[in-house]
Structure 1
């Protein structure tokens, strides 16, 4: 099904919505292009238009994965999921990189400014692209009465609401555009609290009063009411950050409602991140909202391709493959050799017999360690240095393997990844329930249901379960369970640790030992200067000039 969606997205390039973020115009660039009003005639046209919205989450362009359709020099660095993950993991302690790209230096040193870099520009622009395409779709479909169209409209509304959720979380107070802004008045900002309330209302309406499909009613990876309910749970967990008012009970209730919708944990954690995770029934049962990638039909140097290739050197690539039973192969198709994990973060995992200076193996007893750990330290040094390509740990959570033992890393095959990226999965709902319950209970809980959910995760990981859990334990459990899935920055902000001098990590604030406080304004990224220039209705986030 994902091949159908993204083949349609490519075909939808005929729906030429040549709009910039500033004026949301939809006039075609040349006389042979169709504008949206001409292109939307049949249900298939609308299906292609919906695919066009889905595609904004994963594609760098409609034609060539090596050529971006937005103003970022490297097409792979223009893709939404790649830079969403980077904004949330590299700005904190989970991901570091030895490449010298300016956006990487700014993110891991927390030194970004109002001038956009590749990451802040890509995520903002791609999210606004989703909004623009969804608004156009909803405007063009508002008067149509085709059978099946209400469901498509509901999906478009969710995709727009989720893009606004990302913008609210990352940028605080983005422009708020609706259908009436298409080729109309420039949008204004409504404030983070009001945007939270709008998204909340939209998601509730999708759950209660729309044709958004029930879980299991449409083929994967199309969105369902599970995605709407889970997004509410995530928003409520962070409501105090967004609005000033905690919503712990609402977070617990929304997480529990999602859990009851029929999802299941994948028995093997490793299979969630393999190349065939979209065809693996066990993995798909845990996915609530995933972004699909396909090396044959929707190529991208972003997505999960960068997660597969960016962490490994040639030596590590071959050595890990050999340890896993592929003596003459590599675990990833390419060796970009840049991403690293500081030892301080790796220490959250229960690793047995960790050693440095070994010449073979993984650098620890992997067979008896937390099964969520995919690390390798051979040839590395314990202390991470942003100038040392062999420092810290390497991570191979995403690889070129599939669940049947195949290894898609031969020279004759594509360099790109087909692994889907799990934006939301069931394990996160377990963690939200447990944290919300712990906070409602004063910071620590022995609640049977909360402990049961965490025990399921730890049983799968092969580690023991404590008699009680507190908020600090849950933060560490989230670090283990959700590593490199785009959660860490939001978690540290919610806990008050992102800006605090008492929670250091390597190169926080540009300081090697990270023992420094950060400015509060860094808890949101800046609104793009180009938008401020083009739209006088907008103001910059506080603290940026």
Structure 2
């Protein structure tokens, strides 16, 4: 079903050649009146194609593929894609990410010193405004069709997508125009509270018109999506309106929890966790789809964009990373994370790991890369079986060999660096990092594998040659790289684009794990939920992450600080972080700082007006009905 609906998205993207301008929210992307063509709404089948365009407007950027006929002018087309902008505004502005590129306006985001003319805040506004316009046009035209159950659900989906766009506008910009029909009149500005009421009312009205839980085609929303968006809306109500709605958040989160969506526990690639399956190229079929409530669908051949997961995969590769391991043809050397995210994952003791392996042996490693250098004594390995030895250790950049009992008469090296051992062979070159080292004396082979010293396998970082501390944001090797998103499927195969340019991996905008956290947080904030249930649900995520129940919690462990840290560990790089930090009053204050917050190496507070982005200066200039957000 993914392919069927995705093909419709592509057809409508190419068929609706959209070139003029409109004034829905007073911007100049593509014309929504393209939906008024009679053949587009001749019948239900044709209307479904027009509906596909509403979804495509969030996933893609234009009419001819990745570039060449953009929906939005005056910005690089690849920059303007919705989830790429969501990353820039909600992750790059936080402790979760930095980028090494110097494109005008981009360094401003992590440094938190953007202006009203920032290209990226402007592009997101235009993208969301366009989505509202397309939805308004679709709703008007589809309402003229003979009304049956299918058309009713189409209209409900369009109203959901419009509500979703307005949810984003409320969150990012605050007071924006509220327009529900195609018009050329200059719109008036609505308050955040009025916009909140609109989104709430829309979702409550359409919930029963949307198809039941998981009965719609993959990639299209259902009733549970409306409940999930209400959960998000109510969780942030106090920020948006000044009035808390945590009890309502608990109700609608509970509706989602009791639906047919389930946490993915299918470890399809057999690597010990089912978490990484959520971000692989076959996440529409490997079990992850059972957790995804609302996704952006991508296909490396048929829905090409330089945004989406193509951006998240390519941009996160650089330094000594091998792009082929991620299913693409190269890295863009941009995105990394700060130590603030890395340190959210508690480290386990290497001594404890080694002690659990077995008996310490007389075989060890020696060299200037090892803890004791060439003069020894050897760093001894642990016997895990007959002629089988393992060691967890931290190495410096340099050389090593395997040696028995400090005796140079019995040592192994590697001639040719091919992973096989020879008696008295050449020294083995390694980079600095923490590793699992395995020695097999039966096969005369060895492996030196980078190892993350945490039991939480959500800590998906590349550290070889990367510095934890960031001194120069422009240097890719400053900051750990993130390996969360890949264009490799559960069997290790590359995505559909054999050239390795574009990525198949779908992007989850809302998934069940987020709603677990919403329920827990709203319960803690006085929403009346069951903290035992909240702990049970969060334990599902912890068990998936660690492969055991050792790190499980009880209801007494649930605190607001625990929840926001756990959200960070589970949801990083999924477009959530800025919203979470604002809700906790951490985004602009000195209550929580991270490297280069406020453009200071150690981090500092910034003015509270930056909890909102500015309305585009170009919009303010042409519409006297609009007032700029405070501080800009």
Inter-CA distance 18–137: structure 2 relative to 1 (3 Å threshold): farther
Give 1 or 2: higher helix fraction.
1
Equivalent residue number for residue 57 of structure 2 = 56
Equivalent residue number for residue 483 of structure 2 = 396
Deviation at 1:5, TM superposition (A): 2.8
C-alpha distance in 2 between matches for 1:493 and 1:363: 35
Equivalent residue number for residue 404 of structure 2 = none
Render the CA deviation track for 1:198-230: whole Å, top value 9, x for unaligned: 10011011114xx21111221101110111100
Pick from 366, 369, 388: which aligns with 2:455?
A: 369
Equivalent residue number for residue 217 of structure 1 = 215
Deviation at 1:49, TM superposition (A): 1.1
Q: Please state if 1:10 is matched with 2:10.
A: yes
C-alpha distance in 2 between matches for 1:527 and 1:415: 34
Equivalent residue number for residue 231 of structure 1 = 229
Bigger Rg, which one:
2
Inter-CA distance 330–480: structure 2 relative to 1 (3 Å threshold): closer
Contact 2:470 2:595 in 1 (8 A): yes
C-alpha distance in 1 between matches for 2:223 and 2:530: 31
Contact 2:300 2:495 in 1 (8 A): no
Q: Please state if 1:485 is matched with 2:571.
A: no
Deviation at 1:409, TM superposition (A): 9.5
Equivalent residue number for residue 324 of structure 1 = none
Equivalent residue number for residue 326 of structure 1 = none
C-alpha distance in 1 between matches for 2:101 and 2:280: 26
C-alpha distance in 1 between matches for 2:35 and 2:128: 24
C-alpha distance in 2 between matches for 1:498 and 1:413: 40
Equivalent residue number for residue 443 of structure 2 = none
Deviation at 1:337, TM superposition (A): 1.0
> Matched residue pairs, number?
523
Pick from 323, 326, 333: which aligns with 2:329?
A: 333
Q: Which runs of 5+ in 2 are unaligned?
A: 266-273, 351-392, 398-429, 436-450
Deviation at 1:530, TM superposition (A): 2.1
Equivalent residue number for residue 622 of structure 2 = 534
Mean CA deviation greater in 523-532 or 162-171:
523-532
Deviation at 1:416, TM superposition (A): 0.6
Render the CA deviation track for 1:491-543: whole Å, top value 9, x for unaligned: 110000111123111111111110x2211111111111222233222221121
Inter-CA distance 441–64: structure 2 relative to 1 (3 Å threshold): closer
Q: Please state if 1:519 is matched with 2:607.
A: yes
SS at match of 1:407: coil
Q: Please state if 1:474 is matched with 2:593.
A: no
Deviation at 1:449, TM superposition (A): 0.8
Equivalent residue number for residue 294 of structure 1 = 299
1:500-511 mapped onto 2 (5 Å cutoff): 500-511=589-600
Contact 1:3 1:297 in 2 (8 A): no
C-alpha distance in 2 between matches for 1:534 and 1:185: 12
SS at match of 2:238: helix
Q: Please state if 1:387 is matched with 2:474.
A: yes
Equivalent residue number for residue 343 of structure 2 = 347
Inter-CA distance 314–511: structure 2 relative to 1 (3 Å threshold): closer
Q: Please state if 1:278 is matched with 2:284.
A: yes
Equivalent residue number for residue 325 of structure 1 = none
Q: What's the C-alpha RMSD, in Å, of the aligned pairs?
A: 2.7
SS at match of 1:57: helix
C-alpha distance in 1 between matches for 2:79 and 2:433: 30
Deviation at 1:103, TM superposition (A): 2.5
Inter-CA distance 16–65: structure 2 relative to 1 (3 Å threshold): closer
Deviation at 1:172, TM superposition (A): 0.8
Contact 1:171 1:526 in 2 (8 A): yes
Equivalent residue number for residue 260 of structure 2 = 262
Contact 2:316 2:336 in 1 (8 A): yes
SS at match of 1:290: strand
Equivalent residue number for residue 452 of structure 1 = 536
Contact 2:523 2:530 in 1 (8 A): no
Contact 1:266 1:283 in 2 (8 A): yes
Q: Which runs of 5+ in 1 are unaligned?
A: 322-328
Inter-CA distance 414–388: structure 2 relative to 1 (3 Å threshold): closer
Pick from 238, 241, 250: which aligns with 2:239?
A: 241
Render the CA deviation track for 1:131-150: whole Å, top value 9, x for unaligned: 10110111112222154211
Equivalent residue number for residue 421 of structure 1 = 507
C-alpha distance in 2 between matches for 1:35 and 1:198: 25
Inter-CA distance 475–247: structure 2 relative to 1 (3 Å threshold): same
Deviation at 1:38, TM superposition (A): 5.8
Mean CA deviation greater in 467-476 or 489-498:
467-476
Deviation at 1:413, TM superposition (A): 2.8
C-alpha distance in 2 between matches for 1:201 and 1:43: 26
TM-score by length of 2: 0.78
